[in-house]
Structure 1
Amino acid sequence: MYRKILILIFAGLLPGWLSAQLSFSTLLNEASVGKDDYVQVSFVIANAKTISGFVAPNFKGFSVVSGPNLQSGMSIVNGVLTKYEGKSYVLKPNAPGRITIQGATAVIDGKKTQSNNVVVTVSDQPSGQPQGNLNPLFGQRDPVDDDEVNEEYFLKPGESIPLKIRENLIVKLDVSKTTCYEGEPIVATYKLCSRLKSESKVTKRPSLGGFSVYDMLQPDTYQPSVEKINGKFFNVHVIRKVQLYPIQAGTYELDAVELENTVRFVKLEIEPGNRSGMEQLLQEYMNGMVEGKPEEHVITLSSKPVTIKVLPLPEEGRPADFDGAVGSFSFKSSLLRQSVTPNETATMQVELNGEGNLPLINEPSVKWPSGLEGFQSRVTENTDKTVSPIRGLKLFSFPLTAAKTGLYTLPSVSFSYFDPKAKAYKSLKTDSLTLIVKPGVANKPNILKALTGKREDGGFNWSILFWLLPVLAVAALGIVFVKKKPVVAR
């Protein structure tokens, strides 16, 4: 049977963790497949002390292509440590339809337990999507050959341990580009690529000075992948993936990440030669028929630093209102209400849509016409930082008031940005807006509003309070003076 060797990676140094609860789950890599596709089912036991008597279901409606394939490992999500063991099978459906796979049974911590049932929908189409070999635990299609990976688990007589580790365990830094403009993002991905059974933890985090840094992956949502390096397939775990926005021109070096790796082998006492395949060798070792002893080696590996050259934005053609925006954008403005009464707050919204260094863009400059008083904007963002450049919108809400009635024209607002694809500056302008300030309740004295200081829109009317405070102060002094005036006897 195939024995799958999987990796444990700690994405950072953790102060401590909690142990997760016992579970026995049936997992599918795909719930819907074509009639010619393969489906993989995994029976995973988490956080068990003892496991015995595992019995797989009969897989009615399927032909077993491979299995059982053994897995084991650990994961830490949000500080919770999960230890797991499992068996998986690659199946081929015999006919279209909805097929139920019954749960497996096992004696876990002395108690007979059954995992959940799962349903596979098999369509009449030849294939739902392209498939390769499957990585059971993570639901990944894994082209790594089982025999090829398992062979790395064994140390043959005379093999160099440091060389074997360095050829099969690689820490690397990939970048989307090495040259960019100020404000143009670079995607940097720190990876652990492994063909070995190892436990790894970060001992030195990279310094990313000179950039605004935005993480693109959440540790609890990431799935491992497979990558071909030097002609061999590796299981790849992302340590960190970020997009970097350079703050100013210059040459910068992205630091290396450093990992301490504990690698486990089985050292064979005799050379296996060609007497059996690796599958048979693994089976014999697990049954105690091959002499060998476990070995553990600790090695520290690091990625190579990468140099980034950041170009200055061109001076030629730079608009006067340019304020550092880089990307591709659209721009518009609107009034939440077309008409208000004097001293009532209106709101002009300026909306910036597109992709680029959105979080770093400042509010646009607004020239308020005579008779209107504008205030600093309230900024809201709705962006997706898992894509590069960052995509979404940024909304600037400007409050404004008018003391007198009338028709006010709000001039257009301009915005300029640099487009790194076109290598040119571009300028946008919103349409002008008309605000009507008409006579209303706000023109008349209102004792309740004056005392509470509230506007009709629910906000606090600071202008009323400003004028009311001196009057109240004078009245209070008058009352005190009257009370303290001595009574003259007549």
Structure 2
Amino acid sequence: LPNPQIPTLAGFEVYSQGRSSNFSIINGQVSSSVTYRYLLMPLKHGTYVIDNIAIVYASHRYKGNPVELTVLNTGTSASPQLQDEASETSSRGKDYFLEAVVDKKNPYINEQVTLTLKFCVAVQYYGSPELSEPTTTGFWTELLGNKAPYRQKINNRIYKVIERKYAVFPTQTGDLTIGRATIRVNVPARSSRGRDPFGMFGDFFNTGKEVAVNSEPIRINVRPLPDKGRPSDFTGSIGDFKISASVDKREVEVNQPVTLTLRITGTGNIKSAAEPVIPELDEFRIYRASSSENITKIKDRIGGTKVYEEVFIPKHPGTLKIPAISYNYFVPSENRYQTITTKSINLRVTKPEGYAASSDVPYTRPGLIISSDARDIRYIKDDIGETTPIGRLIIRTPVFLMVNGLPILVLAGMILVRRRRERMASDISYARSRQASKAARKRLAQAKSLSSPNKAGDFFAEVHLALISYIADKLNVSPHGLTADNISELLAERSADEELIGDIGAILQRCDYGRFAPASTTQAEIEELLSTAEQIMIRLEEVRFA
């Protein structure tokens, strides 16, 4: 379901506290309810009527009932019931809290920021806490992992601490915000109305009370890289790297390929480690072959290896040299640019059998005798008479134009392809957006292979992942913790059609149903949902995400 449409409430500050879903299965029939929570902070006293709360679902608009709310003056006593609830909330205030901290608030663009979520709880709780991860619009995010629960003394009280860490890399400069994280957990429901007559049974019948605990949003001011000391061929890599070069063979014939492998290793955003700049070499023809990457996580730092392969084809024999290749990057901890180089590599290039270099001097056939009977130069005619064209000039023929124009078109195409590959390698946001459709179609194809009732759970999970990941890639946000609520807000900000937003919320909810109750799904429902998902993907292509 999409978020309810909340009217402008004069006199209040409104904060969303998320939503919760409840599923039930009775006689094979699935039913559900969704609860949305909002925190209203009154700015002045008075009586207010909250009306016109509506929701759009399946092209229909549903309106809620009006609610009357009275805000009292400071110092005015509230009703006993409200006093009890306030007392309980106050007593809960230090029982649990969720803290979000970062190791730096003023990073450079593309520099790692470590985000730590700490859920601290000093009371018993039931089940497992459910985390809604923070939104990280404008960041590339990698989960570093969970730390084993531990105990910590805070303000003279012992808390159990559950900790999760992320590596977030800002992909744009300026002010960015890491959104609130929310944890839902069931804690004992205490009463302030005297002794419970059934207290002898302890917590045996106590299923607890669900509470939502929010962290505070974090503002990050992202700095651009400094101009001072920036190399002219700097390509945007940030971190601490090493580079090495190797070839698959040291001896080769003319016009035979040699593969040069450039390996960049270190810590930093290895995904955005740009391709080293290779100078133009008269002795070789050079072609880009492939690239690959391997991401590692060591001591809360993202790093790894990125490999580029280039094909060198020698043009003539001799001892040819692949020169040292420079690589520039910015070291944020030292606030400076660093240049590293590979070692040069010598190749022994030999002549193949029957080789004739293009630079050889042309020769004439020996023994060629010019006939002595040949007539001398004829006299110059001063009147050539009438002339008639014997055909079109060859330079104007379509074949000539095509043959000579084709290499230019091929060269232009190669330049465009190379530039696109370079941007794909250095611009994460662009790469994710360009590859989003292909990845989503691949996931939907995988879902189609699972489209049978006995695999319904996997089918619904794959469709859900396809839609969530597509939208996350288009928006350059992490898919972790991206909920239907977040998606509705983000699409609404980009003026997406309300009906489309509602349909996305509906299909995501249907996927949730299917994952919880796959046994009640029919083949017809599976095929219908797959068709709907494919249509939604087509409609999403029309949304301007940028």
Q: TM-score, normalised by structure 1?
A: 0.50
By relative contact order (CA 8 Å, sep 6+), the higher-ranking structure is 2
- When you count helix as a share of all residues, which structure comes out higher? 2
Q: TM-score, normalised by structure 2?
A: 0.45
- When you count strand as a share of all residues, which structure comes out higher? 1
